[in-house]
């Protein structure tokens, strides 16, 4: 007979299905399948931990967002924010659906070209574009969004030297009532800097001014802030029309719509508090439609939504390595993934479900990752059934930013599997191994 493990007895209050003031305690229903593919099956086939992405969910999210905006405004274009998740398979799903690419570095720009996006459908944002990036983007007719005067002057010089006439817009920062203000990117609206930059561009023979852009923040909870942003961009577009007799082709309101994750410290879950895309769309389109542009000169509305389109399409599956009691008697569960793979556990109280049926008794516990580092905490406090070594868990809504901001530290980064529309699974990024990790290292002669 197998020996039963001994644990020093503790007297601790157990909660089973207690009521609280919001109703019954949230149930810990096991999640055994994702899009009807077995969680256990995927873990045994591909190993643990494992990222899983649902192609169906990405397409549902995208089509839903497009429908919401297109039923309110005649000209709408989405551009996929590469930094939110630049796995090529993911980007290609968005491009197949009709999304352009929104990139913020030469690296991301190359990835977009590699994914078959036409140059004129790539939006190049961000403060870091070097001369060769700018030349390539100009030659490809991409939309270059200027971040600062140094970039503007470089682009004017390069355009003259190379006989180019790039299509450009400026990024505008502004006070939308959200603090801290994001004023480090682009040209300020209130102090006239944005208008000065537009004037400089409109007066240049080597630049074609085509739009205005802003990205006012991320995980924004206020549709009103977007109404303010839309009004300010309309005012700039109107000014360009009045002063230079030229209607801008587009107004780009950036990304920033929240996903339904729960921010750390929030009183209620994100699913109950986050405004819907409809509310953001109403706020934005009411302003543009009401601004006074003639119908045939309405600018195209560009959106660069990232997290709201992908977060709930991503899952992280993992395994319990051990459980222990901390010195204060709290239960601790150690998982085989931590901050290294799940960067967003710094921001969110991620929902975590057991992947198998466990007992009805629950206990408040802390969930640690596997790193030998004190800050490696996945959840500071979560009430869960009594997970044991070998039990498996599913973390929800991890599709945004984790697969780009993950860090290689102490362990390898896990593989990523895509569940396609027919529920077939495909590896879209292999797990790392020693060979991959050491590929770029070199040993100097005297240490060989």
Ligand X SMILES: *Cc1c(COP(=O)(O)O)cnc(C)c1O
d(CA 103, CA 111): 9
Instruction: Specify whether the CB–CB gap between 284 and 370 falls below 8 A.
Output: no
Pick between residue 28 and residue 344 the one whose CB is nearest to ligand X.
Answer: 344
Closest by CA position to 418, among listed 56, 67, 68: 56
Of the candidates 103, 104, 209, 398, which one interacts with ligand X according to CB under 6 A?
104
Query: How far is residue 273's CA from residue 268's CA, in Å, rounded to a whole number?
Result: 7
Does 397 contact ligand X by CB under 6 A? Answer: no
Q: Verify binding: residue 81, ligand X, rule CB under 6 A.
A: yes
Cα(242)–Cα(247) distance, integer angstroms:
9
Within 205-244, the residues that bind ligand X by CB under 6 A are 215, 218
x/- mask, ligand X, residues 240-279, rule CB under 6 A, reads --------------xxxx----------------------
- Identity of the residue, 42 or 214, whose beta carbon is nearer to ligand X in the bound complex: 214
Q: Which is nearer to ligand X, 166 or 254 (CB)?
A: 254
Q: Which is nearer to ligand X, 42 or 117 (CB)?
A: 117
Cβ atoms 176, 225 nearer than 8 A: yes
CA-based nearest residue to 99, from 85, 118, 84, 79? 79
Does residue 111 bind ligand X (CB under 6 A)?
A: no
Task: State the burial class of residue 355 (Cβ atoms within 10 Å of its Cβ: 0-12, 13-18, 19+).
Answer: buried
* Candidate ranges 49-57, 59-67, 78-86, 271-279; the one touching ligand X (CB under 6 A): 78-86
Binding ligand X (rule: CB under 6 A), the pick from 304, 312, 349, 376 is 304
Least distance in angstroms from the C-beta of 423 to ligand X? 27
Collect all residues with Cβ–Cβ distance below 8 Å to 333 and sequence separation of at least 6: 320, 322, 323, 365, 366, 367, 368, 384, 387
Among 35, 55, 102, 391, contact with ligand X (rule: CB under 6 A)? 102
Does position 35 interact with ligand X (CB under 6 A)? The reply is: no
As measured in angstroms, the least distance from the Cβ of 305 to ligand X is 5
Q: Please name the residues in contact with 60: beta carbons below 8 A apart, sequence gap of 6 or more.
A: none
Which of 186, 306, 314, 414 binds ligand X (CB under 6 A)? It is 306
C-alpha distance from residue 208 to each of 16, 144, 145, 265, 357 (Å): 65, 10, 12, 46, 61
319 binds ligand X (CB under 6 A): no
Number of residues that bind ligand X (CB under 6 A): 17
**Nearest-5° Cα angle at 207, 206 to 208:** 130
- We find the least distance from the C-beta atom of residue 129 to ligand X, in angstroms, to be 13
Tell whether residue 28 is a contact of ligand X (CB under 6 A): no
Out of 125, 142, 285, 353, the residue judged to bind ligand X by CB under 6 A: 125
Of 82-101, binders to ligand X (CB under 6 A) are: 83-84
13: left (phi over 0), alpha (psi -120 to 50) or beta: beta
Q: Considering the complex, what minimum distance in angstroms separates the CB of residue 205 from ligand X? A: 28
Q: How far apart are alpha carbons 333 and 103 in whole angstroms?
A: 39
The yes or no reply on residue 173 touching ligand X (CB under 6 A) is: no
Span near ligand X by CB under 6 A; candidates 3-11, 299-307, 327-335, 381-389: 299-307
Report the alpha-carbon distance of residue 225 to residue 282 in Å, rounded: 12
Q: By CB under 6 A, is residue 168 in contact with ligand X?
A: no
User: Least Å distance between CB 365 and ligand X?
Assistant: 31
Site residues (vs ligand X, CB under 6 A): 81, 83-84, 102, 104, 125, 215, 218, 254-257, 304-307, 400
């Amino acid at each position: 007979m197998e020996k039963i493990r001994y644990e020093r007895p503790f007297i601790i209050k157990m909660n089973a299905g207690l009521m609280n003031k919001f109703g019954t305690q949230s149930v810990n229903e096991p999640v055994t399948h994702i899009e009807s593919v077995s969680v256990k099956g995927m873990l045994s086939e591909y190993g643990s931990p494992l990222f899983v992405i649902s192609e169906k969910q990405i397409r549902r999210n995208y089509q839903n967002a497009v429908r919401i905006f297109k039923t309110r405004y005649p000209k709408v274009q989405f551009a996929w924010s590469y930094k939110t998740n630049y796995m090529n398979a993911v980007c290609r799903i968005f491009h197949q659906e009709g999304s352009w690419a929104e990139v913020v570095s030469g690296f991301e720009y190359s990835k977009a070209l590699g994914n078959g996006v036409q140059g004129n459908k790539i939006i190049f944002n961000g403060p870091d574009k070097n001369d060769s990036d700018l030349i390539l983007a100009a030659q490809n007719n991409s939309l270059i969004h200027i971040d600062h005067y140094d970039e503007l002057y470089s682009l004017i010089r390069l355009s003259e030297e190379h006989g180019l006439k790039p299509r450009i817009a400026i990024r505008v920062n502004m006070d939308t009532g959200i603090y801290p203000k994001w004023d480090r990117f682009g040209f300020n609206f209130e102090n006239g800097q944005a208008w000065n930059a537009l004037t400089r561009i409109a007066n240049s023979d080597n630049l074609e001014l085509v739009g205005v852009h802003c990205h006012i923040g991320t995980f924004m909870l206020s549709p009103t802030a977007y109404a303010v942003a839309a009004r300010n961009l309309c005012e700039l577009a109107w000014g360009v029309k009045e002063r230079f007799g030229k209607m801008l082709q587009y107004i780009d309101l950036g990304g920033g719509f929240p996903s339904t994750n729960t921010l750390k410290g929030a009183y209620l879950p994100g699913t109950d508090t986050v405004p819907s895309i409809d509310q953001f769309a109403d706020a934005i389109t009411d302003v543009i439609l009401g601004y006074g542009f003639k119908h045939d000169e309405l600018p195209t509305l560009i959106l660069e939504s990232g997290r709201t389109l992908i977060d709930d399409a991503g899952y992280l599956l993992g395994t319990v390595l051990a459980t222990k009691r901390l010195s204060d008697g709290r239960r601790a569960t150690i998982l085989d993934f931590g901050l290294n793979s799940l960067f967003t556990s710094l921001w969110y109280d991620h929902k975590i479900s057991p992947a198998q049926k466990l007992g009805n008794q629950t206990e408040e516990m802390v969930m640690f990752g596997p790193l030998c580092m004190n800050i490696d905490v996945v959840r500071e406090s979560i009430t869960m059934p009594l997970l044991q070594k070998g039990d498996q868990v599913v973390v929800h809504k991890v599709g945004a930013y984790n697969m780009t901001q993950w860090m290689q530290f102490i362990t390898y980064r896990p593989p990523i599997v895509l569940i396609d529309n027919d529920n077939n699974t495909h590896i879209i990024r292999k797990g790392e191994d020693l060979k991959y990790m050491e590929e770029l290292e070199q040993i100097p002669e005297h240490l060989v």
